[in-house]
Amino acid sequence: MKAWILAVGSEMLTPFRLDTNSLAITEQLNAVGCDVRLKTVVGDDLEELASWFRRAVGSVDLVVCTGGLGPTEDDVTRDALARALDATLDTDAEVLDAIRERFKRRGLIMRDINARQALVPRGATVLPNANGTAPGLWIERGGTGILLLPGPPREMQPLLERAIDAYIRPNAGDRGLFRRVIRITGRSESDVDAVAQPVYSRWVQAPVPISTTILAKMGQIELHLTADAPNEADGRAALAGAVRELLDVLGPCVYSTDGRAMEDVIGDLLRERGWSIAVAESCSGGLLASRLTDVAGSSDYFDRGVVSYSNRAKTEWLGVPAELIEANGAVSEAVARAMADGIRARSGASVGIGITGIAGPGGGTPEKPVGTVCIAVVTPNGGDVRRFTFIGPREMVKFQSTQAAMNMLRLHLSDGPSVYRD
Amino acid sequence: MKAWILAVGSEMLTPFRLDTNSLAITEQLNAVGCDVRLKTVVGDDLEELASWFRRAVGSVDLVVCTGGLGPTEDDVTRDALARALDATLDTDAEVLDAIRERFKRRGLIMRDINARQALVPRGATVLPNANGTAPGLWIERGGTGILLLPGPPREMQPLLERAIDAYIRPNAGDRGLFRRVIRITGRSESDVDAVAQPVYSRWVQAPVPISTTILAKMGQIELHLTADAPNEADGRAALAGAVRELLDVLGPCVYSTDGRAMEDVIGDLLRERGWSIAVAESCSGGLLASRLTDVAGSSDYFDRGVVSYSNRAKTEWLGVPAELIEANGAVSEAVARAMADGIRARSGASVGIGITGIAGPGGGTPEKPVGTVCIAVVTPNGGDVRRFTFIGPREMVKFQSTQAAMNMLRLHLSDGPSVYRD
């Protein structure tokens, strides 16, 4: 099945807003074997939008249109569809009652313009909206199904699911696109691709073909695998085999194959061992503590963190000897190690991490340029200390520092069973 | 002038990637008075893309097309344009030399397929690309200018600027869209709109009309003002007047009118006073320290931070009496205040902030539900302590806590000159 996604709204033709709804819509259409061939953003322009509906009828199987269902003059989607299909707009008594009821419940007076949201092109089916006043609408014409959905995601999402179940899946069969994401850190995009490409290029011709997209994000590389399968079981099985093949060639730089973020992986590794963690940060400025505590339930293992920007804080709070800083500089392997040892000893946590570096844009020297970061990880099984040179602006150096620190800890513990999870 | 933006690439028809280039393109086209009427994402499909170029010729003034200029079979933009315009593709000797040179400089062998990137539709002008192998191309046909740009932003951006200067601005005159952003925190979207709407609705009819968009983001509301002006000076003047009008009705909930983030505003307020800051965080988990240190040069005023998740850490490191925690609970105004006092006293910083709360999803009680957060701010001029109830998932509670803490500090200091900046 071929689909178009139309997003309606002049605000998405400004520099401020993208049509993000289309990502979730694409994912759910793909899962029932429906291929998105075109995405278009049109302004609040009745004639323009009507011309799109006309163009769609008979040329694609499905149109999903979001937005433009509000009560104001700017909301033209209902009218544009009626004009394109040459259909009359009738007021739907049930929808009108539901809108009245909604206003009453909230103690508000319903204005006349809100009655516009009860207008339904003749022949369309209403999808009642529990989270707002604009219902969804479904209509078929010339072999094309047209689905109108409200723009706000919390209204759009449940109506999309209902429409897929009622109208799209029954015509779609079991075939679908199924996905897995492999997350990698500590290697460059070209490096990962050189190793992975000979593997994933073969899958395109497999009985269950799998396509692969490589995405470089801050501090990590993602491989997105998409299986085009006759049913979900075959799709999942093919993906599991593909993930195993990639793990064989990529090895331990893969930190997650099940959607977990690095901080989730670290949380699971600590939990398995019943260990706690405490962190001492300089250039990363609290971002490591913040990422670790983004995980629900992290208070079970996260003990404390210190952001010791000043040398005095490093000495007073972490016991880093002033002479050590003097001799090696604040950004040094020795100081990173002393920070990790200090936070670990003073907190009594099982694991201590120390990060010290130059996030920039100022503060670099020829020997220690901006992006130089020293990281130490100390656990009951020993410790590691490493020096990195990260590139990019301040926030990227901060993020990469936290990613590298968690990755050092992960590799240090990677004898455990939870590094990869199928 | 009317423009279309076409983004070419099948990866933007997956659930993984949006056409983000169009935001920067829109902003720069708007600034030379060019209105974006339509945005379309098409896959790597020669015929489909050719049909778009055919449709554009004669119906809009400008088409900006990004992507599909790489060396592989999937990169169809050059061929599609040549087919649509019925133009021959010639190999451009200068471009070919530049590509060869680029490979040579990097010690790589140029593959045959890279020569495809030197193909130019007859009649097009080449825009040399200093950051990659694919040049930009400009061609006019039937009153429509067509600009092809490579997809990677660091290659796209400089070529876009050059094309605007060379081909678009000269035909555009001085008229343009000019913008200001007003950032607000501590009030709801409907609350802000109720106050602001009567003001901004008048501007639509003004000699220099200004349109206003309200955007609710995490922990803040933004008002985006867009002036449609005959020249930049008039646009800027109209916007300055509009900003003053909004400040009059919105008052101190506006924290920035010049694009600064909250952490920048706080940094400026501290710098003006020569003050330093230290923060003690529980539920926000280091995010406040991390946001404060996102600002370049923040080491001038940021002294240190503590993430005291455990009660023991609060007592040992901040001197919060165990009895105080026992009597009031860790999440209480009294403990927040003791944390702020403790970090301030022990660091010697001018300003101390304490945050303690329940980020969720677990840990809530009927009296203190998830989202309950107590925040204390202590400065040389005295202190404030407040209790908030934030809604949303864990990361939103964390973010709103840091936003509210910085806002309390801002309001406490808002006698200073830098709260608003024109």
Q: pLDDT per residue over B197-217, tens digit each?
A: 999 999 999 999 999 888 778
B418 within a domain of the structure (yes/no): no
CB contact under 8 A, B317 and A317: yes
Q: Which of A39, A179, A307 sits opposite B304 (nearest CB)?
A: A307
A421 within a domain of the structure (yes/no): no
Q: Do residues B240 and B269 share a domain?
A: no
Res A38: pLDDT = 97
Give the integer Cα–Cα distance in Å for A30 and A177: 5
Average pLDDT of each block of 10 consecutive residues along chain A (422 residues)? 94 91 95 92 95 95 96 90 96 94 83 89 96 93 96 93 94 85 88 90 94 84 92 95 96 94 97 97 97 96 94 93 96 97 96 96 92 97 94 91 97 60 36
CB contact under 8 A, B289 and A284: no
Q: Do residues B212 and B135 share a domain?
A: no
Q: Do residues A162 and A269 share a domain?
A: no
* Contact present, B3 and B37 (Cβ < 8 Å): yes
Among the candidates A225, A256, A287, a domain finishes at: A256
Pairing, β A35-42 against β A2-8: parallel
Which residue of chain B is at minimal alpha-carbon distance from A14? B26
Looking at chain B, the whole-number percentage of residues with pLDDT higher than 70 is 98
Alpha carbon B413 to its chain's center: 27
Residue of A38, A309, A331, A402 for testing the chain B interface, max B β-carbons within 10 Å = A309
B420 within a domain of the structure (yes/no): no
* Contact present, B335 and B324 (Cβ < 8 Å): yes
Res A415: pLDDT = 59
* Contact present, B374 and B336 (Cβ < 8 Å): yes
Res A107: pLDDT = 80
Q: Do residues A54 and A117 share a domain?
A: yes
Q: Do residues B185 and B120 share a domain?
A: no
Among the candidates A256, A278, A310, a domain finishes at: A256
Give the integer Cα–Cα distance in Å for A54 and A60: 11
Q: Do residues A158 and A292 share a domain?
A: no
Q: Which of A36, A294, A307 sits opposite B394 (nearest CB)?
A: A294
In this structure, the dihedral spanned by the alpha carbons of residues A112, A115, A117 and A118, taken in order and rounded to 10 degrees, is 180
Q: Do residues A143 and A123 share a domain?
A: yes
List chain B residues with CB under 8 Å of A306: 304-307
- Kindly indicate the confidence band of residue B386, based on its pLDDT and cuts at 50, 70 and 90: very high
Instruction: Look at B353 and A107; give whichever has higher pLDDT.
Output: B353
Residue B152 pLDDT greater than 70, yes or no: yes
Give the integer Cα–Cα distance in Å for A26 and B14: 6
- Kindly indicate the confidence band of residue B113, based on its pLDDT and cuts at 50, 70 and 90: confident
Residue B422 pLDDT greater than 80, yes or no: no
Res A123: pLDDT = 95
How many CA within 13 A on the CB side of residue A256?
A: 21
Radius of gyration in angstroms for the set of CA atoms belonging to chain A, rounded to a whole number: 28
- Kindly indicate the confidence band of residue B414, based on its pLDDT and cuts at 50, 70 and 90: confident
Q: By three-state DSSP, how is residue A420 classified?
A: coil
B188 within a domain of the structure (yes/no): yes
CB contact under 8 A, B20 and A18: yes
CATH (domain of B52):
3.40.980.10
Residue of B34, B35, B284, B307 for testing the chain A interface, max A β-carbons within 10 Å = B307
Q: Which residues pair with B180 in a beta bridge?
A: B225
Res A108: pLDDT = 78
ipTM over 0.85: no
CATH (domain of A282):
3.90.950.20
A419 within a domain of the structure (yes/no): no
Q: Do residues A128 and A203 share a domain?
A: no
CB contact under 8 A, B302 and A309: yes
CATH (domain of B238):
3.30.70.600
List chain B residues with CB under 8 Å of A395: 294
The H-or-E segment that residue A228 falls in is strand A220-229
CB contact under 8 A, A304 and B287: no
Q: Please, what sign has the CA dihedral across residues B298, B302, B303, B304?
A: negative
B422 within a domain of the structure (yes/no): no
Instruction: Look at B33 and B301; give whichever has higher pLDDT.
Output: B301
Q: How far does A118 lie from chain B, in Å, by closest CA?
A: 24
Q: By three-state DSSP, how is residue A421 classified?
A: coil
How many domains, chain A?
Answer: 3
Res B110: pLDDT = 82
Q: Please, what sign has the CA dihedral across residues A286, A291, A292, A298?
A: positive
CB contact under 8 A, B213 and A14: yes
Residues near B329 by Cβ (< 8 Å), separated by ≥ 6?
B335, B368
Give the integer Cα–Cα distance in Å for A286 and A302: 13
CB contact under 8 A, B41 and A37: no
Q: How far does B215 lie from chain A, in Å, by closest CA?
A: 9
B421 within a domain of the structure (yes/no): no
A28 within a domain of the structure (yes/no): yes
Which residue of chain B is at minimal alpha-carbon distance from A40? B40
Q: Do residues A112 and A134 share a domain?
A: yes
Res B415: pLDDT = 59
Q: Do residues B183 and B151 share a domain?
A: no
CB crowding B249-268: b at 16 or more within 10 Å, else e:
ebeebbbbbeebbbbbbbbb
- Kindly indicate the confidence band of residue B190, based on its pLDDT and cuts at 50, 70 and 90: confident
> What are the C-alpha distances in Å from B128 to residues B106, B134, B150?
18, 8, 11
Which residue of chain B is at minimal alpha-carbon distance from A360? B296
Q: How far does A394 lie from chain B, in Å, by closest CA?
A: 7
* Contact present, B332 and B374 (Cβ < 8 Å): yes
Q: Do residues B236 and B304 share a domain?
A: no
Which residue of chain B is at minimal alpha-carbon distance from A223? B16
List chain A residues with CB under 8 Å of B297: 362
Residue B421 pLDDT greater than 70, yes or no: no
Which residue of chain B is at minimal alpha-carbon distance from A23? B15
Among the candidates A114, A148, A172, a domain finishes at: A172
Q: Do residues A365 and A293 share a domain?
A: yes
CB contact under 8 A, A16 and B307: no
Q: Which domain holds residue B283?
A: 262-412
Residue of A11, A284, A293, A308 for testing the chain B interface, max B β-carbons within 10 Å = A293
